[in-house]
Homo-oligomer: A and B are copies of this chain.
């Protein structure tokens, strides 16, 4: 039995619940927190409490936000005519930091997954359709992940939205920048050839 002081044990256990953090990493993080200044450790604890207290979902796009509607939905400079549909808030954050997209977003909070019992009613599909009702939106970019469920959800949305006279596009799939054709899997190569573009 390890004779580690109980408060340290507790912290290690709590840290080990975080994704990608195993027992060894949790111990290392706990020791780092023990070595860091009291102020730094309290700052971290306060930040954790703060996100749980202040962050809610945007009632328009379901992004995580501390104001409602969120600052992307409120931003008059962003293009109201394009909505980019993503699976999770993390996808939205990644796309935002690429700086390419200047329209609005819609977070589905999941993908349709029959095997896991996730139906269209379990994710924010109805909420998306309601946003498309006002006739303002000209294009929906479906940026779900290029997985089986992500692709199926994209197809499902496309079948629902196209009849509304709105253009539906899928984010491009191909060889990632810095990737190596030799070591790229066959499906990606097939997609990359299919999706080739004129210069």
Contacts and interface: CB of A to CB of B under 8 A. Distances in A.
Copies in the complex: 2
A4 B48 CA distance: 16
A59 B52 CA distance: 39
Contact of A97 (B2, B46, B52, B75): B2
Interface stretch (A10-18, A149-157, A170-178): A10-18
Contacts of A48: 11, 33, 41-42, 44-45, 48
Contacts of A20: 25, 28-29
- Most chain B beta-carbon contacts within 10 A, residue among A2, A7, A29: A7
Interface centre among A5, A10, A72 (most CB of B within 10 A): A5
Interface string A62-95: 0011110011100100000000000011100110
Given A17-B40, A19-B32, A89-B31, A47 B96 contact: no
A54 B21 CA distance: 24
A43 interface: yes
A70 B5 contact: yes
Contacts of A10: 47, 50
Contacts of A70: 3, 5
Contacts of A67: 5
A51 B27 contact: no
Given A3-B75, A18-B32, A42-B48, 14 more contacts: A1-B99, A5-B54, A5-B66, A6-B66, A7-B47, A7-B51, A11-B47, A11-B48, A14-B47, A15-B44, A19-B32, A34-B64, A41-B52, A45-B49
Q: Which 3 pairs, one residue from A and one from B, show the smallest C-beta to C-beta distance?
A: A45-B45, A11-B47, A5-B66
